[in-house]
Amino acid sequence: MPTFNPPSDQIQYQAINTIRTLSMDAVEAANSGHPGTAMAMAPLVYLLWNQHLNFDPADPIWPNRDRFVLSAGHASMLLYSMLHLTGVQSVNEKYETLGQPAVSLDDIKNFRQAESKCPGHPEYRWTSGVETTTGPLGQGLATSVGMAMASRWMGAQFNKPNFDMLGFNTYALCGDGCMMEGISNEAASLAGHHKLSNLCWIYDNNRITIEGNTDLAFTEDVATRFIALGWNVTRVGDANDLHMINRAFEVFHNEEHRPTLIIIDSHIGFGAPTLQDTAEAHGSPLGEAEIRLAKRNYGWPQDEQFLVPDAVREHFAQGIGERGAKARNAWIEQFKAYKSYYPQLADQLYKMQHRQLPDDWDAKLPTFEPDEKGVASRASSGKVLNALAEGVPWLIGGAADLSPSTKTNLTFDDAGTFSIEQPGGRNFHFGVREHAMAAIANGLALCKIRPYTAGFFIFSDYARPSIRLSALMEIPVVHIFTHDSIGVGEDGPTHQPVEQLASLRAIPGLITMRPGDANEVVEAWKVIAKLRHEPVVMVLSRQNLTTLDRTEFAAAEGLSKGAYILTDADQGDPDVILIGTGSELQLCVSAYRELKAQGINARVVSMPSWELFEAQPESYREQVLPPHVTARVAVEQASAFGWERYVGQAGDIIAMNTFGASAPLSELQSKFGFTPEAVADAARRQLKKTGKAAA
């Protein structure tokens, strides 16, 4: 544990005030932002980074570094100040340090401006040293739980006698807003259950939100709540008391069986006692007059802006700089020896950290024989997932209390269950906590594990904010959702997803997949395994899907292009195109056979992924959907929203325009028009419009 150096000289106070004044000046220059928390929490963050955080600014992606998450993302200048003052280096997509600062002083001067590395809220992949994108309150806390779980899992996976390769701590700084959001309680409950003693949340208890004092809406006893959740709770009564803050960190380091919550009482904008409205200071620039008064109170030159004394830079270089470099270099030397003793594990660790696949990762993937009765895509996916997980040892995950229904349990030998007793287990039980589950998966992925989550498709609504962030961060989380349509049947409209596909397709950077048979499921998982930056939503059926005979139909590998010609007119261009996804692909096939018997030239296009299709060259897209063939029918047991781009304004869409109903599946299919006859009738109507109706 680091040794605390008491503030026997002024350099520590000078460093703290540098953080404060940089934050004030940046917000003032931008005329936008939140200076209060950055000012109040400067002593805490200074002490954490310079004396406790196991982090090397010269190598901010070193695998065993401690993680710092600013869940109170509106206080972003607090983090940007630390990245600048500690000299954190910029890293590119090839994991190379670039010899330039992650955050320059010019970036700080251009806080919240275009192209600055200091956007309004911290963004992963945009600014090196930012461990996760934060902004929506509570997200950082839940993500930090995933990081703590990753540390524990990787330690169990890779550590050997005399080789403690992985076992980092995770710190997250939050505020009252984070504590109010439900996701934080979901995540805290799971962290307490798993006794994540490597997790430390720091709660800035300043009792202020945008609308005013927290007494307006938040009067609970936070400490008692967390004790009930199984946390160790300690308190610091003054945010400026470095001795008590250090003592709180010592309590965390000594705790072996519980996560730790440090409650720090503070005042927004502490050190600027002339502030009249603390709520306003929370979310607004202070103004030139207030800044001058605050700087005078700090003993700071009142006319200086963005002042960084050389002594402060040197102080951080002698603190976290030297300490972090020593720890990181020792780890590198240890890894060299580790490769000699455990070459297979060393290779796995390297490939995992670089998002590479093991050799022969796909050796056990199955092929499904033609079967008219078929199998539900949730069931075929479960088989493929197990085969893939055997080939990719860091593919881990679980469900929101639904693994028996989603078929996502890993059942091969030694898969195990992640628990206190078995930290290397690969099956995770998240409980009924969809939102926290998705955010925790983000934390796992940010540590380079390949995670998957699972649940019923209707409950993607609960996970959607975290799914959106996985797309924004460009991290390859896999979200498996089953019970994908009105096929849920008797459970009724509360459990029948209608609008969810459209809403997820609207998220930039997210790939949605709705495979139409078991072999499309195999190909979907092949695509997923190779992704490095794109999250995926896999949408799977409860009802059986016919396994198509691929000697009669095109190979399922066409899925990799998002859409492909499944079967076509015998000669020449088709007169009508039928487009289907998921269980509705079979309706298109049946309608195609009826039309063919009537002498109608039809084409069936399987379109499991809009996003993959849109990524193809225009020439391929026009080959699949020729512009001159305007008679088109799309079939999907979900909202019609968006299908116009593929069928045109004149095309027909057999989809859901209302919520579903409670009834057996066969009755619902007839009620809402999902039958082969309805698809064939729609095709004939399209042909009549174009004047190509069969004689």
> If pLDDT is split at 50, 70 and 90, which confidence band does 133 have?
very high
pLDDT tens digit sequence for 463-484 = 999 999 999 999 999 999 999 9
pLDDT tens digit sequence for 549-597 = 999 999 999 999 999 999 999 888 999 999 999 999 999 999 999 999 9
For 575-596, give one letter per residue: b (16+ CB within 10 A) or e.
bbbbbbbbbbbbbbbbbbebbe
Catalytic-labelled residue, pool 123, 434, 584, 636: 434
CA-CA distance, 441 to 438, in Å (whole number)?
A: 5
Phi, psi at 208, each rounded to 5°: -135, 135
Q: Which residues pair with 171 in a beta bridge?
A: 68, 200
> If pLDDT is split at 50, 70 and 90, which confidence band does 293 have?
very high
Query: What is the predicted pLDDT for the residue at 275?
Result: 37
The pLDDT > 70 percentage for the chain reads 96
Enter the tokens of residue 389.
């997980």
pLDDT tens digit sequence for 587-644 = 999 999 999 999 999 999 999 999 999 999 999 999 999 999 999 999 999 999 999 9
pLDDT of 127 > 90? The answer is: yes
pLDDT tens digit sequence for 315-347 = 999 999 999 999 999 999 999 999 999 999 999
Single-letter residue type at 666: S
Enter the tokens of residue 356.
């590479």
| Average pLDDT over every residue of 678-695 | 86
pLDDT tens digit sequence for 3-23 = 444 444 799 999 999 999 999
| Average pLDDT over every residue of 19-30 | 96
> If pLDDT is split at 50, 70 and 90, which confidence band does 215 have?
confident
Alpha helices (H) in 577-675, listed in sequence order: 584-597, 610-614, 618-624, 644-647, 665-672
Question: Which of these, 657, 635, 663, lies nearest to 488 by C-alpha position?
Answer: 663
pLDDT of 34 > 90? The answer is: no
If phi over 0 gives left and psi between -120 and 50 gives alpha, with beta otherwise, what is residue 681? alpha
For 643-653, give one letter per residue: b (16+ CB within 10 A) or e.
beebbeeebbb
Single-letter residue type at 383: K
Query: What is the predicted pLDDT for the residue at 277?
Result: 40
pLDDT of 141 > 60? The answer is: yes
For 193, the enclosing helix (H) or strand (E) is helix 182-193
Are the C-beta atoms of residues 265 and 257 closer than 8 Å to each other?
no
Q: Please tell me whether residue 643 adopts helix, strand or coil conformation.
A: coil
Query: What is the predicted pLDDT for the residue at 691?
Result: 81
The pLDDT > 90 percentage for the chain reads 90
Mean pLDDT score across all residues of the chain = 94
Dihedral of the alpha carbons of 609, 611, 612, 616, in degrees to the nearest 10: 130
pLDDT tens digit sequence for 506-532 = 999 999 999 999 999 999 999 999 999
Angle at 334 between CA 46 and CA 341, to 5 degrees: 150
Single-letter residue type at 424: G
Query: What is the predicted pLDDT for the residue at 268?
Result: 61
Query: What is the predicted pLDDT for the residue at 283?
Result: 60
pLDDT tens digit sequence for 247-274 = 999 999 999 999 999 999 987 644 333 3
pLDDT tens digit sequence for 395-446 = 999 999 999 999 999 999 999 999 999 999 999 999 999 999 999 999 999 9
Are the C-beta atoms of residues 174 and 72 closer than 8 Å to each other?
yes
Exposure of 196 in the CB half-sphere (CA atoms within 13 A): 30
* 123 annotated active-site: no
The structural domains of the chain, ordered by start, are 11-329 (3.40.50.970), 371-546 (3.40.50.970), 563-690 (3.40.50.920)
Query: What is the predicted pLDDT for the residue at 435?
Result: 97
pLDDT of 285 > 90? The answer is: no
pLDDT tens digit sequence for 202-213 = 999 988 777 888
Are the C-beta atoms of residues 165 and 335 closer than 8 Å to each other?
yes
| Average pLDDT over every residue of 659-666 | 93
Enter the tokens of residue 47.
């002490």
